[in-house]
Structure 1
């Protein structure tokens, strides 16, 4: 099986490479940060490799993330059941209206859990945002809107969209470096999260 693993930055790519196994042919793509960069880079890679006769079988988005307090801990591996674009819709005065409700598409793409069935971790929705949540109040609001969400990141839905349009199964795997809403970077555990990411990729 040939797998395209998409991550945002080079540090994540190094952690993924360290977890590479011989079971699958695995290519690592550094897309840049955010859903637009992730979607564009993934779509281009899928198209270019398809025309060269080296098509991928699976697309995975992997990297570090924030977790919602009480749902996962720093250092945990998060395994997506759905990738959810949390900002895609209408911000009404009293609530957020997802795009599904107004008939212009969906803000949710299901993850193929068969790909991650042997992986140990916390399973749930992983939210994609173009702007990371920067306060405890915003984190509480976001958690309330998405009771099944375990974490937030910035690329998943973009990668999932490119995979879906190419007709390929998609999975999202994240390792927790911090809690959603905590902007004290000094308390974040980047190195621990990257080690967890390496371990998760070994189980893919």
Structure 2
């Protein structure tokens, strides 16, 4: 099986390489930060490899993330059941209306759970945002709007969209580096998050 693993930054890609398994043929792509860069780079890579007769079977988004307090701890591995574009819709004075309710598509893409069945971690929705949540108030609002969400990151829905449009299964796994809310960077633990990411990739 040929797997394309998409990471935002080189540190995540290095953690994936450290967990590389001999069971599958695995390519690691560093796409850049954010959903637009992730979608564009993933779509281009899928298309280029398909044209060369090296089509992928699965696409995985792997990286670090923030977790909602009470859902997971720093150093845990999160496995997405769905990738959700949390900001895709209309922000109204009385609340948020997702794009699904407007009839213009969906803000959610289901993940392939067969691929990650052997991966140990916390399972639930992972939100994709174009900006990191930097306040407890915004975090609480997101948790209210998406009660099944366990974490947030910035690339998942972009990678998932490219995979879906290419007809490929998609999965998302992420190591927790911080809690979502007030931005206390000094309390983030990239090392623990990247270590859990290495372990998770090894189990795929």
TM-score bracket, normalised by the shorter chain, equals over 0.9
- RMSD between aligned alpha carbons? 0.4
Corresponding position: 1:113 with 2:120: no
Cα distance in 2 for residues equivalent to 1:182 and 1:188: 12
Cα distance in 2 for residues equivalent to 1:44 and 1:201: 23
Show CA shifts across 1:83-140 (max 9, x none): 0000000000011000000000000000010000001000000000001111011101
Cα distance in 1 for residues equivalent to 2:182 and 2:153: 14
Counterpart for residue 21 of structure 1: 21
TM-score, reference length from structure 1 = 0.99
Cα distance in 2 for residues equivalent to 1:181 and 1:45: 34
Specify the SS of the correspondent of 1:131: coil
Cα distance in 2 for residues equivalent to 1:187 and 1:33: 21
Aligned residue pairs, count: 204
Unaligned runs of 5+ in 1: none
Unaligned runs of 5+ in 2: none
Counterpart for residue 64 of structure 1: 64
1:198 CA drift (Å): 0.4
1:194 CA drift (Å): 0.5
Structure 1 stretches (4+) deviating beyond 6 angstroms? Answer: none
TM-score, reference length from structure 2 = 0.99
